[in-house]
Amino acid sequence: MEIHTNIPIKNFTTMRLGGKARFMTDIFKTEDIAKIFQNAKAQNLPIFIMGGGSNLIARDEGYNGIILKIKIPGFEKMADDINSTTIKIGAGEDWDSVVKRTVDMSLSGIEAMSAIPGTIGAAPVQNIGAYGQEIADTLISLEAYDTENEEFVNLTHEDCNFSYRKSIFNSLDKGRYIITSITLKLSKNQPTPPFYDSLQKYLDENNIKIYTQQTIRDAVIKIRASKLPDPKIMANSGSFFKNAIAEKWQLDEIKNKYPDIPTYDMGDGKFKIPTGWLIEQAGFKGQLINGIRVYDKNALVLVNESATSYNDLEIAKNQIIRKIRDIFRVEIEQEPNEIQ
């Protein structure tokens, strides 16, 4: 295990912003986590966990601690029956590579989350999801290092307290657990309609009538490629804002002026509104703000075209949030995590 010093964080995040990390190291073995944590604690050094850096924003001041890049491997079949297969996966595995592998095994449950960048360990943190699926649908447990009690633990699905783009790992117990593996229970059944609206539309338009894990994966990859810029070519962190959640009274107000607003009924009087739609209606699509471009194919994405600092990004972000609040009386939130 080699520890590096004064490493530019921008080289490890897809938004390509941020100062230097005082220390950084790669973690390939679970036991190394306990060693690093105890050493860091003795030196009063904070620790930050990094996966693929695709859903992460770094500030200009950098990080005065140690960043652990989790690269723990593993893909093991734990159980198998007539209806499902249960698989344990190392936190350092590439998310999309795992999706491909499960699709090749004719397993359902995560195929609609194809082409999402990042690592397995990061998936439960914000309960990643796309096109009607989310990690909470299939995750039955995970293993992690509990920095509070300094021990490795097994957390159940219920322990994670999943909700829309939320879990204990980015809310109540943020920073407490270092995820080392997750266990998913995937179905052997073929995907069945109705599918998420935009996915169903693509399938209908392309006359796709036979639904398999592979046809769904292929469709999602093509949809995402048409809407999301490749971070290797254009610096971005994917969807920069979470979809807005509105109360019924808020939605009723908006519908008075925008009767065709797209919504999704979440129950309990709450409705999801596509934030990309809100941003587009507010006139931001394609705009350049302080070197940050609102992507012209998907207003939910902010592209770092010429920004050189976190401050540039913050100005653009806040300008968009304020205008959405002023126009629609809805508060939108940043989706990527921040190193702090």
Question: Has 106 been annotated as catalytic?
Answer: no
Instruction: State whether the Cα torsion 183-189-190-191 is positive or negative.
Output: negative
Query: Measured between alpha carbons, how far is 262 from 255 in angstroms, rounded to an integer?
Result: 10
Active-site residue (options: 165, 167, 217, 293): 165
pLDDT value of position 1: 77
Active-site residue (options: 111, 134, 143, 335): 335
Selection from 239, 242, 245 nearest residue 265 by Cα: 245
Indicate the domain borders of the chain. Answer: 3-70, 75-187, 235-339
Yes or no: say if 178 and 185 are a contact pair by the CB < 8 Å rule.
no
Query: CB atoms < 10 A from the CB of 261, how many?
Result: 17
Yes or no: say if 240 and 228 are a contact pair by the CB < 8 Å rule.
no
Query: Measured between alpha carbons, how far is 225 from 115 in angstroms, rounded to an integer?
Result: 9
Selection from 168, 186, 180, 155 nearest residue 74 by Cα: 180
Mean pLDDT of the chain: 95
| pTM score | 0.88
| Number of residues that this document lists for the chain | 340
Question: Has 141 been annotated as catalytic?
Answer: no
Question: 């969807």: which residue's tokens?
Answer: 239
DSSP string, 78-130: EEE-SSEEEEEEETTSBHHHHHHHHHHTT-BSSGGGTT--SBGGGTTTTT-EE
Active-site residue (options: 59, 111, 239, 293): 239
Q: Checking DSSP bridges between strand 244-247 and strand 75-80, what pairing results, if any?
A: unpaired
Yes or no: say if 151 and 130 are a contact pair by the CB < 8 Å rule.
no
Yes or no: say if 273 and 248 are a contact pair by the CB < 8 Å rule.
no
Q: Which residues are CB-contacts of 302 (< 8 A; sequence separation ≥ 6)? A: 236, 237, 240, 292, 293, 294, 295, 313, 316, 317
What architecture (CATH level 2) is domain 75-187?
A: 2-Layer Sandwich (3.30)
Helix, strand, coil share (%) of the chain residues, nearest 5 = 30, 30, 40
Per-residue pLDDT of the chain (340 residues; tens, 9 = 90+): 789 999 999 999 999 999 999 999 999 999 999 999 999 999 999 999 998 888 899 999 999 999 999 999 999 999 999 999 999 999 999 999 999 999 999 999 999 999 999 999 999 999 999 999 999 999 999 999 999 999 999 999 999 999 988 999 999 999 999 999 999 999 999 999 889 989 999 999 999 999 999 999 999 999 999 989 999 899 999 999 999 999 999 999 999 999 999 998 888 889 999 999 999 999 999 999 999 999 999 999 999 999 999 999 999 999 999 999 999 999 999 999 899 8
CATH class entry, domain 235-339? alpha beta
What architecture (CATH level 2) is domain 3-70?
A: 2-Layer Sandwich (3.30)
Question: Has 108 been annotated as catalytic?
Answer: no
